[in-house]
Structure 1
Amino acid sequence: MLSGCQYLKLSPKKPADSHPEIQREFRAAWVATVANINWPSEPGIPVEQQKEEAIKLLDLLQSTNFNAVIFQVRPQSDALYESELEPWSYYLTGQQGVPPTPYYDPLSFWIEEAHKRGLELHVWLNPYRAHHVRGGSVSEHSVVSTKEELVVGLKSGYWWFDPSLQETQDHSHAVVMDIVKRYDIDGVHFDDYFYPYPSYNFGEDFPDDESWDAYVKSGGKLSRSDWRRKAVDTFIQRVYRSIKKEKPYVKFGLSPFGVWRPGSPPSIAGMDQYEVLYADAKKWLKKGWIDYFSPQLYWPINQVPQSFPVLLGWWEEQNFTDRHIWPGMSISRYEGEQQVDEVINQIMITRGMLPEAPGTIHWSMTGLVENDSLRQALLEKPYKREALIPSMNWINHRPLKAPDISFTREKGGLSFALEEDINRVSKWVVYARYDNTWQTIIIPKTRDSAVIPYYRINHAPASSPLRQGRVSLLKELHITYIDRLGFESSAFIQNFEHLDQLESPAESKSLKGFYNSLFNLK
């Protein structure tokens, strides 16, 4: 009845706008490796168990229609990847400087598995933390030992790079660019740890007297606070420019503390990151030294001194370069129905306040893993349908032509192959019209082919027991690709009205009638 494996070379028609538009939204979660918060579950567990745990997390994100993962690869100036600049992480093998056995590269593994599932992978690095109190003992491989001239000890047991030193900036910059150059990542991500929180030094000032005195003796005129902020400003700007020069499509994201300064806006109170962490996050956003900005708005909607929507609105007012603002939200702060309600409401507020390019990052994977009701609510409500990540409109890009498509006609449906430069592609999108209804399919960039069924069964609602459903036939196909900047190409368009008729002249029924009869649908 249907001829098998007939090769068809179809030419694209003039692009049209008749297919539906896919929702754009950044949906990500942080996966923390520091102190083994999210992965791996313990230092030194077997490699196969590490991989199984990683797959479980990525499968969860895919099944809940997330489209990105923020994976921590440098928790304490160490590496969860092969590096000549810093030692293998204690959190991975239980011994800093010791590679996994049998050998594998965790970052390569995470990238490959994330991309298979249509997830972007952003590497998350701490630029200045040299040793964590839960990072094992300071080994001979630690930067505390190998770069002792650049680090200072804090009274709580942490070690920290001195951000003011040029050698510190050079080293952290080299670490970032080493990853950007060697790995197929989609983004680089920094969190809120610049100068350390005061509690890390038991409330005393950061111990940088030596570098400060050298600055003053050299004729420096800035105040100590301005001098510290300038060091961080210079580093942030340098990292952004270097990433864009090397790979413009790699996003640079920052997730600072949610409050810039108390009184900004007037109803807001809390820690002064400008004067305590020496992070002028407002400046970085206003200058456009980032691609996306994710202030950690870990407070509920109705907490007046740190209200989620009030802070989100204020940060958006500082967004003079129209970068993406995708706030970080805490999904583990609450329990039960309160957690579900707060998370859903914050997502919807973000969509309403930032309709052009909404998005959120969820802290952290633990809240998703441990709360079935939250995952179900996300999937049934705001994340019911897949979404594409918003494009980076401030980056120059070439116009995108329609993809070249070759079809093979098979018994189960149309098999098509996509012939494009895979390095340029982020996703494929198939818009299939069955009678008058469109179905949208997002295909990961790791796949270059797919099969589209000739028909789909539309089951009738349970309230109509006498009507089991009906069959809809494939009538039209639009295929586009999304490049790594997030832009969609023109559509390859093909009509398939001829599929409504059987190929054998001996058959008297239409293809639709045949399928309705086959499945006893009326």
Structure 2
Amino acid sequence: MRRLLLSVAAMAATAPLLGACVPWSDPGSGDGADDPRTHAAMPAPGQCDTDPAAPKRQMRGAWFTTVRNIDWPSEPGLDAREQQSELDDLLDRAAGLGLNSVFLHVRPTADALYASEKEPWARYLTGEQGGDPGYDPLAYAVEQAHRRGLELHAWFNPYRVGWKDPDLENLAPEHPARQHPDWLVEYGDEGYLDPGNPDVRAWVTDVVLDVVERYDVDGVHFDDYFYPYPGDGEEFDDDSSFREHGGDFDSRADWRRHNVDALVAGIHERIQQTRPWVRFGISPFGIWRNADSDPAGSDTAGLESYSAQYADTLTWIEEGTVDYIVPQLYWQRGFDTADYAELVPWWSEQVAGTGVDLYIGQAAYRVGDEGFRGADALSRQLDVNAEHGEVGGDVYFSISDLTATGRAAEAMAAVGDAHYTRPALPPASDSAGEAPDPVSELTAERVGPGRVDLAWTPVDGARFYAVYRVPGDGGDPCDLADADHLIGTTGAGGDGPAFTDDAPADGPVRYHVTVLDDYRAESGPGPAARVSPG
């Protein structure tokens, strides 16, 4: 990153046709309880007219970068409480911006921001690789993100070992490059684990699956670093690996792409076998190939990830070895070399009909630069996305740019006004099955002119809850088909599920709470709670 680095899911196979939906009506008791006989299933996609400006599902994420302390922790050596307080603040700000997902950098240089028996603690925690921070940052981050209704995707760099100073010169004894020096390839002032070594690919896969098995993450995420970006004429020295393992390939470039493809496919398969609700996605450099190199490429003239990092994104899409992609489209509209307005439709065409979701990597860090000036710098980019239905959301680089006082914060406020007027649920896993059980008991109490407190009985298997506020006394299943009445999400942990509506409507309303399970499939609404005017 920065070179350092919508549809609603079908909720039940037996969901009634729109004309047969049971209306949600309140007997008018005023005690906050609905007649349970009025419970109806959530309508399936296409059964209701929906507002495209209020999508029910949309990725709204930000990268939380740990390498070189770009985002978090702000500096190495903070004590556990200081690190946790900083992370809490960033998560609060992410939720306050209307985001629903965070991408936490858990393996920046073949080391760990979590308790690992495989790799040492990352130096960005304590200042020393292998230094114990006194708590488990990933476990804490998952808990705190989920409490706020945010997904957490664990972001890995598969091969990067770091820079000579300080990384390569100060590798911890338990670092894989110290344990297996033949795995390390030095390239310029950087070091990489050799992607052409099958033992390295097996190691990286095991490291990723160790996290998937032990932490309740919502996704696994890779960025654009596979083979390194090209240096000044220097060659990546994988001669010995090519001699040993590349015998079936006439082209070293094809062999390198095979190595990356094999890693991607193997990790996707292992995740599906282990925890199929964990979504696997990659954020490649924004250009696959230029049209003058391949007729299937985009009308661009920049560096090609296909031949630079040997990242054949189109193969991953065609073979379904990723669940989503987030191309880094860090260029402005009208830029001759790589026009944002050209690349968004090109990427949309690549995912159309494949089942692979498309989100756009947004350059929040560039706000204020040429082509990214003005308070609408990011909103202009999202205007293009809105013209292409295959775009399912955005991920911003990075959280510190969005939350620091300055131009990017102003631009993000404009995104909120223009594009994030309503909350959105995170995209559902393709493996989602039947809808979870609904909430059976819901109460709503007006405790003042500006507050309504909701509480409900916990539901087994709930990951998140979604809260809706529908005006009026009547009820229609289509009221919940988009996000027009969605007011927020909350986590399933804690002493008991609850939500505070701090901007309640003046007139009578009905509150509904739905359940999102591990797959992020959504339940029907269950009985509603009615609140009269304050």
Normalised to the residue count of structure 2, the TM-score between the two structures is 0.81
CA separation of 1:415/1:274 partners in 2, compared to 1, >3 Å: closer, same or farther? closer
Q: Tell whether 2:229 aligns with 1:204.
A: no
State the secondary structure of the residue aligned to 2:255: helix
CA separation of 1:457/1:321 partners in 2, compared to 1, >3 Å: closer, same or farther? closer
Higher relative contact order (CA 8 A, sep 6+): 2
* Distance in 2 separating the partners of 1:265 and 1:233: 19
* Distance in 1 separating the partners of 2:444 and 2:410: 43
State the secondary structure of the residue aligned to 1:27: strand
Cα displacement (A) at 1:30? 0.7
* Distance in 2 separating the partners of 1:416 and 1:366: 34
Q: Which has the larger radius of gyration?
A: 1
* Native 8 Å contact 1:331 1:339 kept in 2: no
Q: What's the counterpart of residue 11 of structure 2?
A: none
Range that drifts further, 310-319 or 368-377: 368-377
Q: What's the counterpart of residue 120 of structure 1?
A: 151
Cα displacement (A) at 1:349? 1.5
* Distance in 1 separating the partners of 2:68 and 2:514: 42
* Distance in 1 separating the partners of 2:490 and 2:500: 15
Cα displacement (A) at 1:285? 1.4
* Distance in 2 separating the partners of 1:456 and 1:260: 45
* Distance in 1 separating the partners of 2:316 and 2:196: 18
Q: Tell whether 2:92 aligns with 1:46.
A: no
* Native 8 Å contact 1:144 1:159 kept in 2: no
AA at the equivalent of 1:112: E
CA separation of 1:125/1:339 partners in 2, compared to 1, >3 Å: closer, same or farther? farther
Q: What's the counterpart of residue 143 of structure 1?
A: 176
Q: What's the counterpart of residue 419 of structure 1?
A: 458
Q: Tell whether 2:41 aligns with 1:13.
A: no
Show the 5 A alignment for 1:102-501: 103-133=134-164, 135-136=166-167, 137-139=169-171, 140-154=173-187, 156-199=188-231, 202-215=232-245, 219-263=247-291, 265=297, 267-319=299-351, 320-335=353-368, 338=373, 340-354=375-389, 358-370=392-404, 371=406, 372-392=409-429, 394-405=430-441, 407=443, 415-422=454-461, 424-434=462-472, 439-446=485-492, 448-450=496-498, 471-474=506-509, 476-494=510-528, 496=530
State the secondary structure of the residue aligned to 1:348: helix
* Distance in 2 separating the partners of 1:351 and 1:288: 25
Cα displacement (A) at 1:385? 2.0
Alignment deviations for residues 304-346 of structure 1 (CA, whole Å, 9 cap, x no partner): 3201121121122222413110010111113187153231011
Cα displacement (A) at 1:99? 0.4
AA at the equivalent of 2:36: S
* Native 8 Å contact 2:283 2:328 kept in 1: yes
* Distance in 1 separating the partners of 2:524 and 2:423: 20
* Native 8 Å contact 1:403 1:420 kept in 2: yes
Cα displacement (A) at 1:450? 2.7
Which 5+ residue runs of structure 1 have no aligned equivalent?
Answer: 1-5, 459-470, 501-511, 516-522
Range that drifts further, 126-135 or 85-94: 126-135
CA separation of 1:8/1:279 partners in 2, compared to 1, >3 Å: closer, same or farther? closer
Range that drifts further, 396-405 or 113-122: 396-405
* Distance in 1 separating the partners of 2:499 and 2:234: 63
Cα displacement (A) at 1:300? 0.4
* Distance in 2 separating the partners of 1:65 and 1:410: 25
* Native 8 Å contact 1:108 1:183 kept in 2: yes
Cα displacement (A) at 1:432? 4.0
* Native 8 Å contact 2:463 2:520 kept in 1: no
AA at the equivalent of 1:380: D
* Distance in 1 separating the partners of 2:373 and 2:394: 18
State the secondary structure of the residue aligned to 1:15: coil
Match of 1:65 among 85, 88, 98: 98
State the secondary structure of the residue aligned to 1:30: strand
Normalised to the residue count of structure 1, the TM-score between the two structures is 0.83
State the secondary structure of the residue aligned to 1:227: helix
Cα displacement (A) at 1:262? 1.9
AA at the equivalent of 2:360: P
CA separation of 1:407/1:55 partners in 2, compared to 1, >3 Å: closer, same or farther? closer
AA at the equivalent of 1:292: Y
Alignment deviations for residues 436-461 of structure 1 (CA, whole Å, 9 cap, x no partner): 898533231235433678x9875xxx
* Distance in 2 separating the partners of 1:432 and 1:94: 51
Cα displacement (A) at 1:297? 0.7
* Distance in 1 separating the partners of 2:438 and 2:320: 31
State the secondary structure of the residue aligned to 2:92: helix
Show the 5 A alignment for 1:23-42: 23=55, 24-42=57-75
State how many pairs are aligned. 471
Q: What's the counterpart of residue 507 of structure 1?
A: none
* Native 8 Å contact 2:69 2:75 kept in 1: yes
CA separation of 1:146/1:63 partners in 2, compared to 1, >3 Å: closer, same or farther? same
* Distance in 2 separating the partners of 1:425 and 1:286: 31
* Native 8 Å contact 1:431 1:477 kept in 2: yes
Alignment deviations for residues 74-127 of structure 1 (CA, whole Å, 9 cap, x no partner): 000000110000000111110111101xx1111111111111211111111000
* Native 8 Å contact 1:429 1:479 kept in 2: yes
Task: Quote the sequence identity (%).
Answer: 32
* Distance in 1 separating the partners of 2:368 and 2:514: 42
Cα displacement (A) at 1:232? 1.0
Alignment deviations for residues 128-186 of structure 1 (CA, whole Å, 9 cap, x no partner): 112234554323333221121211222x2211111111110110001100000000111
* Native 8 Å contact 2:437 2:459 kept in 1: no
Cα displacement (A) at 1:10? 5.7
AA at the equivalent of 1:402: P
Q: What's the counterpart of residue 19 of structure 2?
A: none
* Distance in 2 separating the partners of 1:403 and 1:12: 14
* Distance in 1 separating the partners of 2:492 and 2:164: 39
State the secondary structure of the residue aligned to 1:478: strand
